[in-house]
Amino acid sequence: MLDCQRHLFSLPDEIHYLNCAFMSPLLKSVEEAGMLGLQKKSLPHRISGVEFFDLPQESRRLFAKLINAPSYHTVSVLPSVSYGTAIVAKNIPIRKGQNIVSVVDEFPSNIYAWREHIHQGVELRLVEANDRKNKSQSWNEGILEAIDESTSVVILSTIQWTDGTVFDLKKISQAAKKVGAVFVLDGTQSIGALPFDVQEIQPDVLIAASYKCMMGVYSIGFAYWGERFADAMPIEETWIGRKGSEDLRNLVNYQHEYNEGMAKFNVGEMANFALIPAVNAALEQLLEWQPQRVQEYCASLNKHLSSLLEGTVFSFANPVNASSSRAEHLFGIGLPEGIDCDRLQERFAENNVYVSLRGDFIRISPSVYNTLADVEALAKVLRSFK
């Protein structure tokens, strides 16, 4: 198991930051890489044309390795999940009478892109977990039941973003493929902290922002695209996405063909000289840590937290001993009925404890920079509420 990695971050000892699902802190190495990249723009005569391509290509290669994609050519650099979802929505023909399957309380960016279709007679099926004691099984069964011959798109987060419930992605992918539906995943809340094998799950699209579990920066993310999108169109036409664009001298010779693979979906100005080096440094560190080891480290913290909360009014949204039903790096603690949430947030602030309130849950999202002292500070606040 990993040792605590707090020394690689700049977090003060008195700050108990258990909120990686909101935004991760920057590794010192990531901060340094970003600063060096930003300084490079001060001396643009040192920037060569190949850097517009080499740095993002390395980003794509590292992300492909993280998710076990068959090639970096299946990966593109995006500014956000909503950007990737917009590409999907533009390229998927949906007819009146068809349906889109997702879950209740899905992250809004994954829903808004489909509003135009919904207004035109497409049904949005939001599956609810009816069994609150076994949300994973209840949700998975409900999703599988909701998928039918009229389903055009199934869109989910890899885990439920408010309480960490794990979906049976392989079965859902198989069910979507059986009826010809496009399977779209948002991996922002798990890629980097939870093992994911794109060749095993076989989604049509996997999109993930880098600023959370990937320890990256805001406004840089990635998408994996399956063969279904080989002939799809981007939502912006960029010079850098065209075949032969590496030859800056010949840019005036306009090209009809796109670059190889899914590079056509790369965002314009993808070669951000501050952000891309920072993301690359983060991905290199993640590959060294390995997502499975991140899970194991978080599990050790959660076991301690569970013991500290015994006998209190607070409990895990999913049983702590049911490792298959929830993630260890993101989980919910149910808010007891009648609790003063404003007072609870005040107590967190007074004790330098940083978590999120999402829906009916206190969302806890630890990572490798957290210590037992962080968990104990959280438990101290919760134990003060009777």
Mean residue pLDDT across the chain: 93
Q: Is the dihedral of CA 50, 51, 53, 55 positive or negative?
A: positive
Q: Which of 129-138, 148-157, 359-368 has the lowest mean pLDDT?
A: 129-138
Over residues 255-276, the pLDDT tens digits come to 889 988 999 999 999 999 899 9
State pLDDT tens for residues 138-161.
Answer: 889 999 999 999 999 999 999 998
259 and 121 within one domain: yes
Question: In the predicted model, what is the mean pLDDT of residues 4-14?
Answer: 97
Same-domain check for residues 271 and 296: no
CATH of the domain at 255: 3.40.640.10
Asked if residue 191 and residue 327 are part of one domain, the reply reads: no
- The CATH number of whichever domain residue 303 belongs to comes to 3.90.1150.10
pLDDT at 158: 96
Does 294 share its domain with 361?
yes
Is residue 28 in some structural domain? no
pTM above 0.85? yes
Distance of CA 299 to the CA centre of its chain: 19
Asked whether residue 257 falls in the same domain as residue 338, the answer is: no
Residue 259: closest CA among 246, 278, 249, 268? 246
**Is residue 385's pLDDT more than 50?**
yes
CA distance 224 to 68: 10
Domain that holds residue 228: 37-287
The reply to whether 188 falls in a domain is yes
At which of 264, 287, 310 does a domain end?
287
Q: Is the confidence at residue 322, as pLDDT, over 60?
A: no
- Give the pLDDT band (50/70/90) at residue 319: low
Q: Which residue's structure tokens are 């490798």?
A: 368
350 in the same domain as 306: yes
Q: What are phi and psi of 157, to 5 degrees?
A: -85, 155
Is 75 contained in some domain? yes
